[in-house]
Amino acid sequence: MLKRLTLTTIILFLILADIGFCQQGGFQPIMGKTPTPIKSEPQNPVMPSSEIVTEGVGGETKLEVKAQTFVYDPYLDNLLKSPQEGVKNGLFGYRISEVEKYLKTHGARNHSYAFGKYSRMVLSKYLLIISFDKNKRVGAVKIEPIAPNNKVLPNAREFFMSVFLGDANASDYSISVSGSSLEIKYLGGSL
C-alpha cells in the first residue's frame, strides 16, 4: 500500500511539474528573469555581382553594383562524359530516349527517372541505372539485381556487356564487375 501511494505521489508530482513546461513557448523563466530573445538580421542569399566603377562629380569614384539573377539549371552539376555526337559505341553516345526504346524491345520497363541525371529501368530481375550527360547522351550504366536476388549472373553479365558496349574499345571505359553489380562508365577517350 505504501509503495502504491509513493508511486502515485511521484507520478502526480511529475504531471504537475510537466504542466508548466507544456505551456505556450515551452520555457518557464528561472528566478523571475525573462529570457532575452535572440535577434538576428535576416540574411539574403549571396549573389555574385558585377561591379562598375564610375567617375562622379569632382573626381569622386562611385561603385555601382548590379546583381545578377541566375536561373537554376539542373544539368549544371552533371559532369558525366559520353562519347561525342556521331561517335556511338554500343549504346553509349545515344540519347537516353533511344536507349530506353531499345531496351523496351528487349522487355525492359520504366522504374523511375531523375531529371537531368539518370533513368532507372527493370529488365528481368535486374535494375538498370542509366546515367546520361548534359546532352542526354548515355555515359554510364549500373546493373544491380533486384531482391531477393543478390548477384549478377555470369550469362547476364555477358548479355549486358554485349548490349551496352557492343564492339566498342574497352580501354575507353571503366568496367567494374563485382558479384552484386556491374558498372560501365565512359572515360572520355583512350587512356
**Residue 135, in any domain of the structure:** yes
Query: pTM of this prediction?
Result: 0.58
**Residue 148, in any domain of the structure:** yes
* Ranges of the chain whose pLDDT falls below 50: 24, 190-191
Count the alpha carbons within 13 Å of 73 in the hemisphere toward its beta carbon.
Answer: 9
Residue 123: per-residue pLDDT:
92
- CATH value at residue 106: 3.40.1720
Residue 183: per-residue pLDDT:
95
Whether a cis peptide bond, with omega within 30° of 0, leads into 148 is: yes
Q: Containing domain of residue 168, as a range? A: 96-186
**Residue 55, in any domain of the structure:** no
> Considering only CA atoms, which of 58, 86, 91, 83 is closest in space to residue 164?
91
Any idea what the Cα angle at residue 170 is, between residues 165 and 173, rounded to 5°?
85
**Residue 179, in any domain of the structure:** yes
**Residue 63, in any domain of the structure:** no
Span 143-187, pLDDT tens digits: 999 989 899 999 999 999 999 998 888 888 999 999 899 999 998
Other Cβ atoms closer than 10 A to 88: 17
Provide the 3-class DSSP secondary structure of residue 18.
Answer: helix
**Residue 120, in any domain of the structure:** yes
**Residue 151, in any domain of the structure:** yes
Burial 2-20 (b: 16+ CB within 10 A, else e): eeeeeeeeeeeeeeeeeee
Q: Count structural domains, the chain.
A: 1
Residue 179: per-residue pLDDT:
85
**Residue 114, in any domain of the structure:** yes
